[in-house]
Amino acid sequence: MIEFKNVVFSYSRKQTLFEDIDLTMNAGNIYGLLGKNGVGKTTLLNLICGLLFPKSGECRVMGYTPQERKVGLLSNLFYVPDEIALPAMKLKDFVRVNKPFYPNFDEKLMQSCLDEFEVSGNENLAKLSHGQKKKVYISFALACQTNLLLMDEPTNGLDIPSKSTFRKLLAGVANEERCIVISTHQVRDLENLIDAVVIMDNSRVLLQGTMEQITEKLVFRSLEKDEKALYEESGMKGRWGVMENSSGEFSKVDMEMLFNTVIGNKREIERIFSNI
Amino acid sequence: MSESFSYHRFGGLITRYWAERKLVLMLNATVLVLAMFAIFFYHLNPENDFPVRALWPFVAVIGFAIFIAWQMQSVFYELNNNKQCSLFVMLPASKMEKYLFLILMGFVLPATVYVGMTYLIEQLSVWIMGVESPEYLWSDINWRLFLRDFPAMLFVCLVWFTGFLVFRKSHLLFSTISIGVFMFVLSKVEAYLTASFSDLYVHTSVPFYGLTLKLYTTYFDFDQGLLVDYYSYSTIFVVLFTIAVFAANYYKFKEKQIKA
């Protein structure tokens, strides 16, 4: 679905943001794009959808070169940015004038998403709060039924019940033909939804893989006394840590611990995941 | 499905624009009609002396520029607003369709609406007042105004259009400053040429106005039949130049990158 080979990108000549990035994302997965502030998560999404162009290297998305912005690609791709400025018009008019561009647009699905988020079709978009705008735009994005859906911090601004609604709706539209990429800081919001991760650090991708691949290589469990881990946390339940999985033990991935492990043990992680 | 152009998608872009901005567009048109009526009635009033009455053609040309600038600002708003541009750029329409949409809504349609409106207002005012005046734009087919002053204004509008694609902010201001700098440099070059070549008659420095005139004035008598030659030559120059600028702008539009 998405293939990056030796992609180099920079905003200025002096400072390179991405150096030789290789990345592959497949259909049938919901990817979590994780990284510290400023590592280039939004920039990566912008490169995937063709808003920005790489300085060198090859980007292919569904067989297209994104920077050409071909209709075939754009009609099968939807991008939900973090900050959305919707026009001053009624929601139903917004849907009426924008849906003809998306051949698979499903009006019933749109209505069902709006009902779940408790947003009325008669609302004036300019008068909505940031969170409500997010709900409207996410509903529209899901109703477009594109095979590639890119979302930048989709849960920012959503209240607690809406975050749960968002997870439910996203799980409902995920299928084998669709690839969903979500850039987020709030991994707890999406922990049970994400089935593959891409973790970025300065200029490069540190880790990419599905949950199965990660649990094959790493184990997340409570630690014995004096047992050493790649990363550990102490809390009410005692010491929990992340270790290399040498015994084929099964465990559930804790996203925050995974992220901290990867960021704190770059070389070790590269070695462990070198054969993925 | 055609990748480069589809009437369905192009119509969709226009419908979308109209639905989003119909109130602003109707407000613009109403202000324009009222202002034009007021100015034209004032112009027709026999009590006003000639210099005031002669303002009508001048106001018509300046009004043209203001109206086009206003519409361009509106049509480029989405593209030059970082929060909104991703919605426009990511719309499933080809780059050609989006660019033609910008030209149509930011340039061609406002120009047509403006010229059509001046004609209607003039006809209506003349009919209501029951008077005639030699300074009408249309009734007396005063082509001099259109052929001389409107092309000069067209040049200004072309630079503005380019400015919306080239400059990141304050597009009208920066492009107007660019015109000013260009005119200043051109006038210096002409002054230098005039001083260097005694037989060269340099007429004026307004692009699309007198730029090509000096090619003829060396050989022909300006007062005897030169106007036809000048205008026919100038028209070809204007058309080719306009096409070239739009083509260059299309390249710039295709390469526009946005951080959303």
CA distance A126 to A140: 16
CA distance B226 to B201: 14
With contact defined as beta carbons under 8 Å apart, do A177 and A116 qualify? no
With contact defined as beta carbons under 8 Å apart, do B130 and B184 qualify? no
- Which spans in chain A are helix H? 41-49, 71-74, 91-98, 107-117, 130-143, 160-173, 187-190, 211-217, 255-264, 266-272
CA distance A52 to A209: 25
pLDDT at B149: 61
CA distance B206 to A197: 61
Residue A241, min C-alpha distance to chain B (Å): 37
Can you give the residue ranges of every domain in chain B?
A: 1-141, 143-260
For range B174-181, the mean pLDDT: 85
With contact defined as beta carbons under 8 Å apart, do A167 and A135 qualify? no
pLDDT at B28: 81
Number of CB atoms found within 10 A of residue B64's CB: 21
Q: How far apart are the first and last CA of chain B?
A: 28
Number of CB atoms found within 10 A of residue B48's CB: 13
CA distance A147 to A178: 4
- Of the candidates A122, A76, A137, the residue with the CA atom closest to the CA atom of residue A101: A76
**Tell me: the pLDDT tens digits for A144-201?**
999 999 999 988 888 889 998 999 999 898 888 899 999 988 887 787 888 899 998 8
Q: What percent of chain B is predicted at pLDDT more than 70?
A: 66
pLDDT at B118: 77
Contact B259 A85 (CB under 8 A): no
The CATH code of domain A28-56+75-202 reads: 3.40.50.300
Which residue of B19, B92, B95 is in closest CB contact with A102? B92
pLDDT at B239: 76
Q: Which residue has the tokens 């735009």?
A: A137
pLDDT at A134: 92
pLDDT band of B51, cuts 50, 70, 90 = low
Number of CB atoms found within 10 A of residue B127's CB: 8
CA-CA-CA-CA dihedral for B87, B89, B90, B95, to nearest 10? 150
Contact B3 A84 (CB under 8 A): no
**Tell me: the pLDDT tens digits for B228-241?**
334 444 566 667 87
The highest-confidence range among B16-20, B134-138, B167-171, by mean pLDDT, is B16-20
Can you give the residue ranges of every domain in chain A?
A: 28-56+75-202, 204-276
Residue A147, min C-alpha distance to chain B (Å): 14
Q: Which residue has the tokens 């009508």?
A: B56
| pLDDT exceeds 50 at position B210 | no
| pLDDT exceeds 70 at position B44 | no
| pLDDT exceeds 80 at position B186 | no
For range B31-58, the mean pLDDT: 68
User: What 3-state DSSP class applies to A32?
Assistant: strand
Which residue of B81, B92, B93 is in closest CB contact with A85? B81
Continuous segment of H or E residues that includes residue A5: strand A2-10
pLDDT at B100: 93
Q: Could you tell me which chain A residue has the CA closest to the CA of B86?
A: A51
User: What 3-state DSSP class applies to A16?
Assistant: strand
CA distance B62 to B55: 10
Query: For all residues of chain B together, what is the average pLDDT?
Result: 73
CA distance B56 to B136: 8
**Within chain A, which residues score under 50 in pLDDT?**
none
| pLDDT exceeds 80 at position B153 | no
Q: How many CB pairs under 8 A join A and B?
A: 77
pLDDT at B106: 87
For range B75-98, the mean pLDDT: 86
ipTM, interface predicted TM-score of the complex = 0.85
- Of the candidates A185, A184, A208, A186, the residue with the CA atom closest to the CA atom of residue A196: A208
pLDDT at B199: 55
| pLDDT exceeds 70 at position B142 | no
Residue type, B37: F
For range B180-200, the mean pLDDT: 70
Contact A81 B94 (CB under 8 A): no
| pLDDT exceeds 50 at position B205 | no
pLDDT at B225: 38
| pLDDT exceeds 70 at position B137 | no
Which residue of A74, A81, A88 is in closest CB contact with B92? A74
